[in-house]
Amino acid sequence: GVMSGLMQMLLLKVSAHITEQLGMAPGGEFREAFKEASKVPFCKFHLGDRPIPVTFKRAIAALSFWQKVKLAWGLCFLSDPISKDDVEKCKQKDLLEQMMAEMIGEFPDLHRTIVSERDVYLTYMLKQAAKQIELPRASETEPKKYIPAVVVGVVGMGHVPGIEKNWNSDLNIQEIMSVPPPSASSKIFKFVIKATVFGLMGYGCYRIGQRTVQFILSMPAAQSYLQKLTEIRSQ
C-alpha cells in the first residue's frame, strides 16, 4: 500500500539516523540472541513478534489524516542528536515510562497499535512457547508425562510492563491480526497520490515527446524531406 510503503521508508530513515549517531544498527540484541540460540543443542528459535505489515496497516488505519501528516513531518525532519549516554538513560524505568506517556498523549491510537497490541501478541507467543512439553510414550495406556519448557524471551524494554500485565489473562490475538478496511479519507488520499503521479508522468512524457519531435524536425535531413513533400503536394 502507498501509506504503508511511505511509513516503512520513513522508519528506515529513523533507523539510519540512529545508526549514524550511535555507530551501530538497532536490533543488535535480537541478532545476539539468534547467535546464542544457535550454540545451544536442540534450541528452537522463534520470531515471536507480530508481522510488520499487519502492525503498519493497523497503525496507519488508526490515525486520522492530520495525525498521519504530523507523524510523517516529524519523521522526515528528525535530526536530534543521540548519544550512547541517551541510550543508557532510556534504560531507566522512570524515564522510559515518561517517554511512553508522552507518546500516549500525542498519538494514543499509534501507541495502542504499535505497543499495547504487540504486548498482547508477544505475551501470547511467549505463553505458547512456555507450554509444558509432552514426553513420548511407549504405549497408549502409559500415562502422559510432561517436562517444563525452558524459554528465554528477548523483547524491547518498553514491552516488559505490558507482558507482565497480560501474562495471567486469557488472550485472543485474532482481533489484533485483522487489517481494517481503508477509511474514506485514506481512499481519497491514495487517489490524489496516484492521480498526481500519473499526471506528472503523463506531462513528462508529453514534454519529452514534444522536444523529441522539435529536435527531429530541426535536423537538416528532416527539413529537406519536409520541403520535398511540400513541393510534391503543391504540384
Taking the CA of residue 157 as centre, how many other CA atoms within 13 Å lie in the half-sphere pointing to its CB? 13
Structural domain boundaries enclosing 202? 187-234
Does 81 lie in the same domain as 17?
Answer: yes
Does 51 lie in the same domain as 100?
Answer: yes
Judge residue 103's burial from the number of C-beta atoms within 10 Å of its C-beta, 0-12 exposed, 13-18 middle, 19 or more buried.
middle
Does 196 lie in the same domain as 147?
Answer: no
Does 87 lie in the same domain as 168?
Answer: yes
Number of structural domains, the chain? 2
User: Which grid cell sits at 81?
Assistant: 542528536
Q: pLDDT tens-digit profile of 85-103?
A: 777 777 776 666 666 676 6
Q: pLDDT tens-digit profile of 139-193?
A: 888 888 999 999 999 998 889 999 999 999 999 899 899 887 766 766 776 778 7
Global pTM reads 0.68
